[in-house]
């Protein structure tokens, strides 16, 4: 088998990449491990998707269906569902496994859009017994929204990321008593709109600078002891709160999925240029496998660009260009992309390390100085940078707080 462009992963980024590559007259094969495309969108039945990409307020499944309908209308896109990638070889051969056995697929270029996985609760090193009733937020969401299963009767949410906030509301609507959401940081981890819609509107308390101290129970969770933490996350004695619940839902972040492609340069996610090119010129990546975005609209936009670049590469219309390292400076937590190819415009995405009422973004090498207000680590800042011809080997991005 052969294909001009192969896309691995059929979530928002993968669907957008496949669609864009097909519009560039390339034969495209999309490999998806599940029985249907869409990824996590299939279980996100709340709205708030598509405001930027489709200019409509959609649910996750609606967002997926709009992309899927376009993909299915293209005769030059083949979808291999229920397929698992075993390896990617440097001679541009993809080895994948499906119900027909082991398959080899040759390509001219590859787009990796494998998304991110949830960080497990066990990674936090919390004391307690090995009990049932502990779920990741994504699993709890899948139980309720796709399997019609209620995970418990009363719950504590650990972590105030968006999925944790959304699940606090969802569990409440399904009759689960949510006793609260605790967050180890001194500020919330999710978007402000989700704080309002998911917690405040349902009178669910949010406890900041608080962590789980001990999980207790008899086979199943029945008690969770929490404690205050200082600015170095050390436990502060004398201010414990005990929650008598039978369910703990963990929302402690996502980790980009880079397996089985570890031969590519990566830190948390794949290191890419503003053309979505990885350390191998013929391999591109987009979406949460590069960095965890806060909006699926950004994921789809980056997927679309990766598909376009992969199509140019497949047609030998994309020459390798020198890349300049993009470095996170003062107060920068997450910065994307990792490199800039200066002959092409860029969208730079970043997260601040701490909340600021007002700050100024400085990129001295490019002469950029821009002020922002009400800066939150949970909300990405996005700026556009035009193509440029300045000679430099590095570009540093800083965010200075203004008093």
Domain that holds residue 368: 323-403
What pLDDT is stored for residue 120 in this prediction? 84
Query: Of 303, 296, 293, which Cα lies nearest the Cα of 378?
Result: 293
What pLDDT is stored for residue 124 in this prediction? 82
What pLDDT is stored for residue 281 in this prediction? 94
Tell me: do 238 and 281 sit in the same domain: no
User: What phi-psi label fits residue 175: left (phi over 0), alpha (psi between -120 and 50 degrees) or beta?
Assistant: left
Last residue of a domain, one of 320, 349, 377: 320
What pLDDT is stored for residue 279 in this prediction? 95
Beta strands in 61-129 (DSSP E): 77-81, 84-89, 93-98, 101-112, 116-118, 127-128
- 3 state DSSP class of 262: coil
Last residue of a domain, one of 252, 277, 303: 252
CATH number at residue 95: 3.50.50.60
Tell me: do 48 and 155 sit in the same domain: no
CA 26 to chain centre: 27
Do residues 181 and 245 touch, judged by C-beta distance below 8 A? no
Tell me: do 216 and 149 sit in the same domain: yes
Do residues 230 and 239 touch, judged by C-beta distance below 8 A? no
Do residues 253 and 288 touch, judged by C-beta distance below 8 A? no
Tell me: do 334 and 315 sit in the same domain: no
Tell me: do 48 and 133 sit in the same domain: no
Query: Of 234, 302, 248, which Cα lies nearest the Cα of 14?
Result: 302
What pLDDT is stored for residue 108 in this prediction? 98
Please, what's the largest Cα pairwise distance for the chain? 66
CA gap 229, 210 in Å, rounded: 6
Helix, strand, coil percentages for the chain (3-state, nearest 5): 25, 40, 40
What pLDDT is stored for residue 322 in this prediction? 83
Tell me: do 304 and 349 sit in the same domain: no
Tell me: do 271 and 327 sit in the same domain: no
Q: Which residues of the chain have pLDDT under 50?
A: none
Tell me: do 328 and 393 sit in the same domain: yes
Tell me: do 75 and 134 sit in the same domain: no
Residue 196 has what DSSP assignment? Answer: I
What pLDDT is stored for residue 116 in this prediction? 96
Tell me: do 164 and 243 sit in the same domain: yes
What pLDDT is stored for residue 36 in this prediction? 96
Tell me: do 231 and 260 sit in the same domain: no
Number of independent structural domains in the chain: 3
By the 10 Å C-beta count (0-12 exposed, 13-18 middle, 19+ buried), 149 is classed as: exposed
Residue range 193-249, pLDDT digits in tens: 899 999 999 999 999 999 999 999 999 999 999 999 999 999 997 889 999 999 999
Tell me: do 240 and 263 sit in the same domain: no
Last residue of a domain, one of 320, 352, 368: 320
What pLDDT is stored for residue 40 in this prediction? 96
């Amino acid at each position: 088998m052969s294909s001009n462009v192969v896309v691995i992963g059929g979530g928002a980024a993968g669907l957008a990449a496949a669609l864009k590559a097909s519009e560039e007259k390339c034969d495209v094969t999309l490999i998806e491990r599940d029985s249907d495309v869409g990824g996590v969108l299939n279980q996100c039945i709340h709205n708030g998707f598509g405001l930027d990409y489709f200019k409509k307020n959609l649910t996750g499944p609606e967002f997926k269906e709009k992309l899927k309908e376009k993909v299915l209308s293209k005769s030059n896109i083949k979808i291999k569902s229920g397929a698992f990638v075993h390896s990617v070889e440097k001679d541009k051969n993809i080895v994948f496994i499906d119900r027909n056995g082991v398959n080899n697929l040759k390509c001219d270029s590859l787009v990796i859009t494998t998304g991110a996985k949830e960080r497990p609760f066990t990674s936090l090193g919390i004391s307690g017994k090995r009990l049932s009733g502990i779920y990741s937020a994504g699993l709890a969401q899948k139980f309720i929204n796709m399997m019609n299963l209620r995970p418990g009767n009363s719950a504590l949410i650990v972590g105030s990321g968006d999925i944790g906030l959304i699940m606090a509301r969802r569990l409440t609507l399904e009759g689960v008593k949510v006793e609260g959401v605790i967050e180890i940081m001194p500020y919330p981890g999710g978007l402000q709109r989700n704080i309002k819609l998911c917690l405040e509107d349902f009178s669910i308390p949010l406890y900041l600078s608080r962590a789980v101290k001990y999980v207790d129970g008899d086979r199943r969770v029945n008690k969770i002891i929490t404690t205050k933490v200082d600015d170095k996350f050390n436990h502060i004695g004398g201010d414990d709160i005990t929650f008598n619940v039978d369910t703990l839902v963990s929302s402690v972040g996502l980790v980009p999925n880079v397996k089985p492609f570890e031969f590519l340069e990566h830190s948390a996610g794949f290191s890419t240029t503003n053309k979505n090119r990885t350390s191998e010129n013929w391999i591109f990546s987009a979406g949460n496998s590069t960095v965890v975005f806060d909006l699926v609209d950004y994921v789809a936009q980056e997927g679309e660009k990766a598909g376009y670049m992969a199509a140019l590469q497949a047609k030998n219309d994309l020459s390798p260009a020198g890349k300049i390292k993009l470095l996170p400076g003062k107060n920068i937590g997450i910065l994307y992309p990792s490199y800039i190819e200066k002959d092409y415009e860029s969208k730079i995405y970043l997260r601040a390390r701490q909340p600021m009422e007002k700050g100024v973004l400085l990129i001295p090498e490019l002469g950029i100085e821009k002020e922002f207000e009400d800066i939150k680590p949970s909300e990405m800042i996005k700026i556009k940078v035009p193509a440029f011809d300045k000679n430099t080997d590095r570009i540093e991005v800083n965010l200075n707080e203004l008093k």
